[in-house]
Structure 1
Amino acid sequence: MYFIQPTRDIPQLDYVLETLPSVQMIRIEDIDLYDPTIIAIADVQDYLTHKWSLPTIVLAFDSEGIALAQAWEIGALAGWLWNNLPSNPHKALSKIDAQYKRNQDSRDLPSAAELQKRLLPNPIELTNYKVETLFKPSAYLSGDWFDYWKISDKELMFYLADVSGHGVTSSLLTSWMAAFHGRSKSPRELIKKLNGMLVQENIEKHITMISGVLNLETHSLRWSSAGHYPPAIIFEPNQAPKVLNTSSFPLGLTADLEVEEFECTLNKQARFIICSDGALEPFDGGLSEQFEQLVYHLKNQSFQAPEHVADDIAILSLKRIN
C-alpha cells in the first residue's frame, strides 16, 4: 500500500509509519505515476484538497469529524484517527483491501456482461432456414449458452448448453466452450471432447447440452443430448409437437460418457427448438406442468421472458422456411 506524505505537520507521523512499516511513501505530486488500483493512506486535508483517484483511507485529528464526513462523501474507503489507529491495523487494512477488490469486481460485471454478449454468434443467412434466439441472463453473467456455425457449404452445427450454477465460474465455462468447439464436426465428437476436458481439468461443474448438425439441403438433422432438460421439440403446422426425449448423463460427471446420435428430418415450416431449463421458470406448477405450458407457448409463438428471471434463459430455434 502507499502512504502519501502529508503536506502539513503531523506530530503522530513517525508513530504511524512505525506501526505500518510495509507501506511505500510517495509524494502528492507523483501520484499519477503509481498504480491506481492500490490503496493509499493519506491525511484527510490533502485528500480533500487534491481529490485524487487512488482508493484512499484518510487520517484525521479528533476535531476533524466534518472533514472525515466530507472525505467519505467523495469516496474515501475508511477514516482513521492519527492518534488512535485500529488495534490491529494490518488486519483492518487487509479487510478494507479485500472489500475494495470485491467492490471493484462488482463494478466490472456490467462490462463483463457486455463482453459475454459479444461472444454470442452473429446472425447468419442460411438457405431454406431461419435461426431465432433468445438470451436472458438472470444476473449480469449467464451460465446458459448457444452457438452455431457452418462446417461446410451445406451443413450447420449448433449447440445449446446449461452450466450448473451461476456467476463468474459458470460464465467462464461458456466462454471456454465458445473458444473450443471449432474443431468438432459432429454432435457426438463435440460432446465427447468437452466432457473429456471437464473431467481432465477436474472442474467442479457439470454441463447439460444438446448439439446437432443440420443439412440445409436434405433437411436431415443429427443430434445428441448430454443430460439436457427440457428436451428438444419439433413443431410442424397442424401436427402435435414432437418431444425428442433421451436418457443420458451431463458432461463432467464421468470419463466414460455414452453419447447416442439421433436423426430426424425437418419438413416444410418445421421448427426445431431447444431451451435451457430457465425457460420453465415463468410457469407455475411442477416440472411436467411447467413443460406443458412451455410447449404451448412455443407452439403458439407466445413465449415471453419476464423482465426479472430467477434463472438464465436461452432458446435456439431452427425454422425451415422453404
Structure 2
Amino acid sequence: MYFIQPTRTIPHLAQVLDVLPSLQMIHIEDINLYDQNIIAIADVQDYLNHKWTLPTIVLAFENEGSALAEAWQQGALAGWIWYNLPKNPIVALSKIDAQYKRNQDSRDLPSAALLQKKLLPDPIDIANYKIDAFFKPSAYLSGDWYDYWKISDKEIMFYLADVSGHGVTSSLLTSWMAAFHGRSKTPRELIKKLNGMLLQENIEKHITMITGILNFETHHLRWSSAGHYPPAILFDEHQSPQILNTSSFPLGLTEDLEVEEFECILNRNSRFIVCSDGALESFDGTLNQQFQQLVEKLQHHNFKAPAHVADDIAILSLCRMK
C-alpha cells in the first residue's frame, strides 16, 4: 500500500506511521506514476483537493467530520481519525483491501459476460439446415454452454453442457470446454476426453452434456448423453414428439464412465432439440409437468423465457428444412 505524504503539517506524523504497517511513501505530484489499483492512505484535505483516482483510505482530525463525509461521497474506501486509528490497523487494512478487490471483481462482471458471449459459436451456413440457439444467463456469467463446429465437409459436431452450481468457477469451465474440445471426432470421444481432464484437474464440479454429430448429406445423427436432463427431443411433423431418454453419469464423477451412442434420422422439417434444465423453471408444477409444458412450447415454436430467470437457460436446435 501507499502512504501519500501530507501537504499540511500533521503533528507527530512519525508516531502515526509507526502504528501502520510498512508503507511505500509517495508524493502527490508523483501519483500518476504508481499503480492505480493499489490502495493509498492519505490526508483527507489532500484527497478532496486533488481528486486522484487511487483507491484511498483518508485520515482526518476529530473536528473534520464534514470533510470525511465529503470524501466518502467522492469515493474514499474508509475514513479514520489521525490519532485514533483502529486497534489493529493491519487487520483493518486487510479487510478493506479484500472488500475492494471483491468490488473490483464485481465491476468486471459485465465485461466478462460480454467476453463469454463472444466465445459462443458463429452461425454456420449448411444447405437445407438451420441451427438455432437460445442463451440466457441468470446473472452476468453462465454455467450453461453450447458449441458446434464442422469436422468435415459434410459433418458438424455439437454439444450443450450444464456445469453444476453458479458463479465464476462454473462459467470458467464453459470456456475450458470451448478450448479443449478440439479434435474429438465422435460423441463418445468428446465425453471421455472432457471427463478425464475434469478428473485429472480435481475440480469439484460436475458437468452434464448432450453431444452429437450430424451428417447433413445423409441426415444421420449420432449422439450421446452424460447424465443430462432434460433429455433430447426429436420433433417430426408426421408423429408425436420423441423423448430420447438415456441413463448415464455426468462428467467429473467417475473414471469408469460408460458412454452409449444413439442414432436417429432427421426427416424433412424435423428438429433435434437439447435444453439445459433452466428452461424447465419457466413453468410451474412437478418436474414431469414442467418438462411436458416445455415440450409443448417447443413443439409450437412459442417458448419464451421470463424476464428474470433463477437458472441459466441454453437451448440448441438442429432443424432440417423442407
Q: Which TM bucket (shorter chain)?
A: over 0.9
AA aligned opposite 2:295: V
SS at match of 2:161: strand
Paired residue for 1:184? Answer: 184
Structure 2 match to 1:217 = 217
- Give yes or no for contact 1:212–1:223 (8 Å, CA) kept in 2: yes
Q: Which digits, 9 at most, give the CA deviation of each residue in 1:129-169, with x for residues without a partner?
A: 00000000000000000000000000010000000000100
- 1:294 — aligned with what? 294
CA distance in 1, matches of 2:3, 2:200: 46
Hey, what does 2:85 align to over in structure 1? 85
Q: CA deviation at 1:20?
A: 1.4
Residues 223-281 of structure 1: per-residue CA shift (max 9 Å, x gap)? 00000000000111142000100000000000110000011100000000000000000
Deviation at residue 123 of structure 1 after TM alignment: 1.1
Check conservation: 1:12, 1:82, Cα contact below 8 A: no
Separation (CA, whole Å) in 1 of partners of 2:55 and 2:279: 42
What residue number does 1:47 align with? Answer: 47
Residue identity matched to 1:177:
M
2:112 is the alignment partner of 1:112: yes
> How do 1:13-162 residues align onto structure 2 when only pairs under 5 Å count?
13-162=13-162
TM-score when normalising by structure 1: 0.99
Work out whether residues 163 and 208 of structure 1, in 8 Å CA contact, stay in contact via their aligned partners in 2. yes
Offset from partner CA, 1:95-126 (integer Å, 9 cap, x none): 10000000001001000000000000011111
The answer to whether 1:248 aligns with 2:223 is: no
- Separation (CA, whole Å) in 2 of partners of 1:76 and 1:92: 15
Instruction: After superposition, give the CA deviation of every residue in 1:53-75 in whole Å (9 maximum; x if it has no partner).
Output: 00000000011111100000010
Structure 1 stretch displaced more, 14-23 or 108-117: 14-23
Once the two structures are TM-superposed, the CA of residue 183 in structure 1 deviates from its matched residue by 1.3
Structure 2 unaligned residues grouped into runs of 5+: none
User: Do the aligned residues in 2 keep the contact of 1:12 with 1:83 (CA within 8 Å)?
Assistant: no
Q: TM-score, normalised by structure 2?
A: 0.99
Counterpart of 1:312 in structure 2: which amino acid? D
In 1, Cα distance between equivalents of 2:12 and 2:316: 66
Deviations 1:261-319 (A, max 9, x none): 01110000000000000000010011100000000000001100111000000000000
What CA RMSD, in Å, does the superposition of the two structures yield over aligned residues? 0.6
**Secondary structure class of the residue paired with 1:182:** coil
What is the rounded CA distance, in whole Å, between the counterparts of 1:112 and 1:247 in structure 2?
Answer: 35
User: May I ask how many residue pairs the two structures share in their alignment?
Assistant: 322
Q: Does 1:307 align with 2:307?
A: yes
Q: Find the counterpart in structure 1 of residue 195 from structure 2.
A: 195
The reply on whether 1:270 has 2:273 as its aligned counterpart is: no
Deviation at 1:12, TM superposition (A): 3.2
- Distance in structure 2 (CA, Å) of the matches to 1:103 and 1:55: 12
CA–CA distance in structure 1, aligned partners of residues 205 and 271 of structure 2:
31
SS in 1 for 2:151: strand
CA drift of 1:128 comes to 1.4
Per-residue deviation, 1:15: 1.1
Letter in structure 2 aligned against 1:19 = V
Structure 1 alignment gaps of length 5 or more:
none
Q: d(CA) in 1 for partners of 2:271 and 2:119? A: 25
Q: Which runs of 4+ in 1 moved over 3 A?
A: none
Percent identical among aligned pairs is: 78
Q: What amino acid maps onto 1:216 in structure 2?
A: F
Counterpart AA for 2:62: D
